[in-house]
Amino acid sequence: MGQGLSCGTNDEHGLFSAVQHGDLETVEAVLDKNPSLIHHTVYDRYSVLHVAAANGQIEILSMLLSRSVNPDLSNRHKQTPLMLAAMHGKINCVQKLIEAGANILKFDSVNGRTCLHYAAYYGHSDCLKVILSAARTNHVAVSWGYSRFVNIRDGKGATPLHLAARQRRPECVHALLDSGALVCASTGGYGFPGSTPLHLAARGGSLDCVRELLAWGADRLNRDASGRIPYTVALRHNHGACAALLNPSSAEPLVWPSPLKLISELNQEAKVLLERALMEANREREKSILKGTSFSVASPSHSDTGTDDNVSEISDTELCGICFDQVCTIEVQPCGHQMCAQCTLALCCHNKPNPMTATVAIPACPFCRSSIVQLIVAKVKTENSIELDVNSPKLRKSRRSWNLNEGSSSFKGLGAVGSISKIVGRGSGRIAIENEWIDKPVGLDT
Ligand SMILES: [Zn+2]
Ligand SMILES: [Zn+2]
């Protein structure tokens, strides 16, 4: 560093350029010489902290924060460094700023948006999750209320979910819904007045966003202020595949049964299994919806062939006793009966959750009829501990898929549960299953 530079402009220029390029040494040297530059701003009142955050210069950002610079410095548009880090997806900087006490409840003066809006709009789901998890503990959000924060509106009435749906950000849509974002909230002036996230997803044309929203119970019949349903919006914007799913006359998808207590208490592993089962069941259903149209669903081919290969390798004892098609991955508590994720999910989706009412019937175990209190990931059984001896090869051959995916009712398959549980239920659980199936396995095919 040149000594004796009295001209602030040179130092200032060198400083901002060094911050942008991550030259920590230079930045420290300049600030050591002229500490007040840390509060200096350029252009639209961007500070060095803004520049470090926007460029993801985590070392410099940390150093600046350690010199106790205010983490909530605002530029001319009242944007904080945290907003810029969220906008540019600089996850480390988002994390560091929040640790340093940055306020997640600041609004900019452009659109009245928070850092959560920025993360959702620009599709940085990792940043979004960090902000959301901060909001669970952050004292500001706690006093404000977590769910109010998740559904925070910008100056035009858009929630983060509206922005994520409009900007085609399915991962953000998912994270927000999972955190309690209101799936049917309507906007004020954003987009078209009265738009729901589903209207905006239809407008943006993201099939993945449409899928997520439908799976969380978005209503295809909601109208915006001009009386349009999402289907009409998708058609107008030539998003044919979205329109096919949004068509109120096409089959309804399975909806994640979030109001169920046992669903809200799932551990992460069980939740992932069930969520995957939901999306796969809905994709299968989509195939039949889109069959008559010129659209095909671009879906990874992991499901069909892969599953079949696995199934052929596993022993019968691990097969789900309801569908005879999938591996048992979920164990029902307290009775301990096991079934596959698809069947578990369909049981829980039996009563389509109504977000307006808190009352949802608690599903019963199809084997023993006891109320299901908890779902956990099934442990792989060892040969000796297997009580349910259904090793008959006949059962293998009678594998029949439990048709969750087709037909106008999503719960067509539950008829199968009903009838099978009549066959096997009768209160004595595994023993009943064993007797019935060994006596007359043919009965299952009728
Ligand atoms: Zn099953
Ligand atoms: Zn049971």
Instruction: Say whether pLDDT at 302 is over 80.
Output: no
The Cα–Cα gap between 162 and 195 comes to 9
The Cα–Cα gap between 154 and 190 comes to 9
pTM beyond 0.85? no
Q: 312: CA distance to ligand 2 center in Å?
A: 26
Q: 395: CA distance to ligand 1 center in Å?
A: 14
The answer for 68, left when phi > 0, alpha when psi is -120 to 50, beta otherwise, is left
Cα–Cα distances (Å) from 218 to 116, 221, 361, 384, in that order, read: 22, 9, 20, 46
Angle, alpha carbons 263-265-269 (nearest 5°): 85
The Cα–Cα gap between 14 and 28 comes to 12
pLDDT tens digits, one per residue of 86-105: 999 999 999 999 999 999 99
pLDDT of residue 27: 95
CATH 3.40.190.10 fits 8-152, yes or no: no
Helices (H), 37-124: 48-54, 58-66, 81-87, 91-99, 115-121
Give the amino acid at 144.
Answer: W
CA 25, 30, 34, 36 dihedral sign is negative
pLDDT tens digits, one per residue of 120-152: 999 999 999 999 999 988 777 778 889 899 999
Angle, alpha carbons 271-273-274 (nearest 5°): 65
Q: 319: CA distance to ligand 1 center in Å?
A: 8
Looking at all shown ligands, the one closest to residue 368's CA atom is 2
The Cα–Cα gap between 268 and 297 comes to 28
- Return the higher-pLDDT residue of 25 and 378: 25
Q: 220: CA distance to ligand 1 center in Å?
A: 29
Q: 336: CA distance to ligand 2 center in Å?
A: 6
pLDDT of residue 248: 93
β-strand pairing of 330-333 with 338-339: antiparallel
pLDDT band at 358; cut points 50, 70, 90:
low
> Encoding tokens for residue 423?
């066959």
- Return the higher-pLDDT residue of 59 and 322: 59
Residue 47 has φ and ψ, to the nearest 5°, of: -95, 170
Looking at all shown ligands, the one closest to residue 344's CA atom is 1
Instruction: Say whether pLDDT at 411 is over 60.
Output: no
> Encoding tokens for residue 137?
């503990």
pLDDT band at 397; cut points 50, 70, 90:
very low
pLDDT band at 284; cut points 50, 70, 90:
confident
CB atoms within 10 A of CB 228: 18
Instruction: Say whether pLDDT at 315 is over 70.
Output: no
Looking at all shown ligands, the one closest to residue 311's CA atom is 1
Q: 382: CA distance to ligand 1 center in Å?
A: 20
Q: 188: CA distance to ligand 2 center in Å?
A: 48
Looking at all shown ligands, the one closest to residue 364's CA atom is 2
Instruction: Say whether pLDDT at 375 is over 50.
Output: yes
1.10.150.120, 3.40.50.11540, 3.30.40.10, 3.10.129.10: which CATH number matches 261-270+303-445?
Answer: 3.30.40.10
Q: 308: CA distance to ligand 2 center in Å?
A: 26
Average pLDDT over residues 221-243: 95
Q: 320: CA distance to ligand 1 center in Å?
A: 5
Locate CATH 3.30.40.10 in the chain: 261-270+303-445
Q: 355: CA distance to ligand 1 center in Å?
A: 27
Q: 341: CA distance to ligand 2 center in Å?
A: 15
pLDDT of residue 12: 82
Locate CATH 1.25.40.20 in the chain: 8-152
DSSP label of 225: T
Locate tokens 């508590």: which residue? 333
The Cα–Cα gap between 23 and 8 comes to 19
pLDDT band at 317; cut points 50, 70, 90:
low
Q: 353: CA distance to ligand 2 center in Å?
A: 23
